Chains A and B, each alone.
Chain A
Amino acid sequence: MGAGGKPRFIVVGGGLAGLMTTIRIAERGHSVDLFSLVRVSRSHSVCAQGGINGAVNTKGEGDSPWVHLDDTVYGGDFLAHQPPVKEMTEAAPEIIDLYDRMGVMFNRTAEGLLDFRRFGGTKVHRTAYAGATTGQQLLYALDQQVRRWEDQGLVTKHEGWEFLGAVRDGAGVARGIVAMDLASLEIRAFRGDATMVATGGPGVVFGKSTNSIINTGAANANLYRQGAKYANPEMVQIHPTAIPGRDKRRLISESVRGEGGRVWVPRDGKPWYFLEEWYPAYGNLVPRDIAAQAIYKVVYDMGLGVDGDEAVYLDVTHMDPKELDVKLGGVLEIYEKFMGEDPRRVPMKVFPAVHYSMGGMWVDYDLMTSIPGVFSGGEANYEYHGANRLGANALVSCTFDGMKGGPKMIDYAAGLGELAADQEESIYQTEVAAQEERRGGVLGLQGGSENPYALHRELGDWMTRYCTVVRKEEQLRQTDAKIRELGDRWNRIDLPDTGGWVNQSVVFTRQLQEMLELARAMVQGAIARQESRGVHLRPDFPGRDDERWLKTTIAEWTPEGPRLSSEPVDVSLIPPRPRQYRKDIR
């Protein structure tokens, strides 16, 4: 090590990406400080249901990492840089093996081997699964491994802490972080030579989404405000099948269609299987962007929503209930518990909902953000999914970022001339003081007329209506104006709680400000991109325009709003071709 001392490592986020990063650093004998809003096993990875992709090719279908790469790049409408996707799809089978060795209860075949099922946007059985709670099973496997390293003294958990920003030296190199204890509101600096921020997606910007309520994107927004580039903010995936609710949208996994579930609406008194009719080659397993757009068409344009509601049927009633329980139990239970109807007997009513951000922190091929020393992994970065993510590719990309990120952080720290331990205390104190001042500002929001939670609901409503499946320039501009208005009204918040202990209002009000920043980047990115690609659908520019827009959108924060630029996409492996799911073409 450059300066002779031992480097220190920080991981922010307790989902698959953060935990795998932690394990990879600890198993090389280094200490890790691990930060998470909630106990790590309650992180949002726990919600993933359907499975994890890897071209293990156990069913004689000729699958390979290259085919997985092709499906992923094509499914993402060619907006992802291809070399990192190739690395990921090559690592995917080993990642599945690793989880298997960690004790994940993956479903098995008669021979006792892993079973694989189908998912959207692919023609092969590539998805390993543990019932319909695969995310929980993978997260728990990593949680258990991290506990083992904790037991050996290499991992220190800081659960119930929120990341507020990086601490940088005079040259702009990150030398640690500042974080806040969510109970006492104490703000502290932590020294670290390399930091992984793997804090998931920003679904809560849209109010109700399939995301956990903790997924505000605030950690990313903190970095963005500190000058880190945010890439492809406009690329937010809408999952076609979620249960509407007033508190959130509950996901009904794509694996339901993977196992044979069919989508339909009543038309002329008969079921109309519109996906099967429109997309005969892939049917109900078209990628999510295509399915969500088709549902919008059917419901809003053709007026065929079930009972006049914003809903279509997702139907498994033709399937064997015993098999359903083994393969989809967890998902069907969710529907039954929250809707009070048994989906084995009555078709489920579902509608599209915000689900995943393909955009995120800009990173280089070593996963480092534009702030030296800060890395980004998992849904928090923009690395693999381009303009649309394929189902069951999230668990593999999050894990892969940890597999890769941990060693990259160690390499980076080894090349440092001086370590965080050598830094002046003043750089840490300055950042702590700045954050304390900001906390004081939030606590001082009194006597106004606005409620932070009500403002958030308004933000979510506008974003969901005008910045999801169909994006029209005029409505996007109205939404941008609305976000600025909400920003003004934020200053007139009457903070409902001004205490200093487990004050959730302070925490949320601060996060709301971050969400407004991300929302503007999303909307402005959507206005700028004058084409339709993957999830990004502009009726005024209905075609994909590789000439002008085969580019990554880069947003940089300024006090006046995002400054946008773009950079080319690395398509060195697979030349872009038109994307369609009606017929088989490769």
Chain B
Amino acid sequence: MAERDEARSDMDIEIPPPGTGEREAIGTVRLRVKRQDGPQTRSYWQPFEVPERPNMNVIECLMEIRRNPVDAEGRRTTPVAWAMSCLEEVCGICTMLVNGNVRQSCSALVKDLERPITLEPMTKFPVRRDLVVDRQRLFDHYRRVEAWIPIDGTYALGPGPRMDERDREEGYWLSRCMSCACCIEACPQVNAAHDEDTIFMGAAPITWARLMNLHPTGKMQAVERYEGLMGPGGIADCSKAGNCTVVCPKEIENLESIAAMNRQISRYLLVDWLKG
């Protein structure tokens, strides 16, 4: 068998038929889901029970519910609405409170969670329905801090600036931010009672500004980003609680980002003042 027939005439093999390979249930998972029919309606709790299977995550529980939409008492209900996309913790969409902790539901493995598992929408963003929230504000804040490298155009202008691999590694670590908004949900300074215009932007946009400012081209527009970071709802609202670092699924040192940007801004303001 040292050499395989590359005409692949040895591939007339038996494939297991459909309907095989499903793992047996190993128990039952009890869940309590905080539901809300629309932005203006009151929320309510609903219990569910689904069969537990090895290595199951929270999203599989929700999928199980929509395949058989009944509550724990067997009463027919609507499937729970939630947001999901990549299911491998990189798109950032499936953030929710799992047993009170903000995290990605795709990587929340049932075997690690206390029962019943409670699922709630994030509290710092408007609820659309059930576990689906509207994070528009976060993306508006990226715009406010001008989190982009202003290239001259998409034309063939040659390679980008050289970078020290160590700076690159630092930047790469920040660039893994997936806009999940865990840092904003966990921040005590982000107060849902605030109006949307003056609410604290939270860590993610500040980390993005830091990332742009450490890039050799991005540095050239650092001042514009300082302006975006200052003012109502800006960086000065941080109370250094540090929850943003603790909850980050990508282990980004968000509090360090805030400190770094504060230092840069102080230096900028000082130089500005000295210039008179």
Contacts and interface: CB of A to CB of B under 8 A. Distances in A.
B18 A462 contact: yes
Contact of A105 (B14, B86, B168, B179): B168
A334 interface: yes
B159 A501 contact: no
A97 B160 contact: yes
Contacts of B60: 246-247
A504 B178 CA distance: 24
Nearest to B106: A247
B274 interface: no
Given A247-B59, A451-B68, A505-B79, A94 B156 contact: yes
B24 interface: no
Given A461-B19, A499-B37, A542-B11, A278 B4 contact: yes
Contact of B15 (A106, A300, A504): A300
B164 A108 contact: yes
Interface in B108-164: 109, 128-130, 132, 135, 139, 142-143, 146-151, 153-154, 156-160, 162-164
Between A97, A213, A294, the greatest number of chain B beta carbons within 10 A of the residue's beta carbon is seen for A213
Contacts of A27: 153-154
> What is the predominant secondary structure among interface residues of chain B facing chain A?
loop
A403 interface: yes
Contacts of A310: 21
A140 B4 CA distance: 43
A461 B18 contact: yes
Nearest to B66: A453
Interface in A154-193: 183
Nearest to A110: B165
Given A23-B154, A106-B168, A213-B85, A147 B147 contact: yes
A25 B53 CA distance: 49
Given A44-B85, A137-B175, A300-B14, A101 B149 contact: yes
Contact of B128 (A130, A499, A502): A502
Nearest to B142: A147
B246 interface: no
Contacts of A140: 175
B4 A108 contact: no
Interface residues of B, number: 88
A303 B40 CA distance: 58
Contact of B107 (A42, A337, A453): A337
Contacts of B106: 247
Contacts of B13: 296-297, 300-301, 470, 539
Nearest to B249: A337
Interface in A14-47: 20, 23-24, 27, 38-39, 41-44, 46-47
A43 B153 CA distance: 23
B239 interface: no
A107 B165 contact: yes
Contact of B217 (A103, A214, A469, A539): A103
B69 interface: yes
Contacts of A87: none
Given A101-B160, A247-B57, A297 B11 contact: yes
Given A100-B160, A130-B175, A310-B21, A251 B88 contact: yes
Given A247-B59, A301-B10, A338-B57, 14 more contacts: A42-B91, A47-B86, A137-B175, A212-B85, A246-B56, A278-B3, A310-B21, A338-B55, A338-B109, A451-B69, A457-B67, A465-B15, A465-B18, A470-B11
Interface of B: 1-4, 6-19, 21, 23, 37-38, 53, 55-57, 59-60, 63, 66-69, 78-79, 81, 83-93, 106-107, 109, 128-130, 132, 135, 139, 142-143, 146-151, 153-154, 156-160, 162-165, 168-169, 171-172, 175-176, 178-179, 211-212, 215, 217-218
14 contacts: A39-B179, A43-B91, A46-B91, A94-B156, A97-B157, A97-B158, A103-B149, A110-B165, A247-B60, A247-B87, A297-B11, A338-B57, A451-B67, A465-B17
Nearest 8 CB-CB pairings of A with B: A100-B160, A112-B162, A539-B12, A144-B148, A502-B129, A542-B9, A301-B13, A103-B149
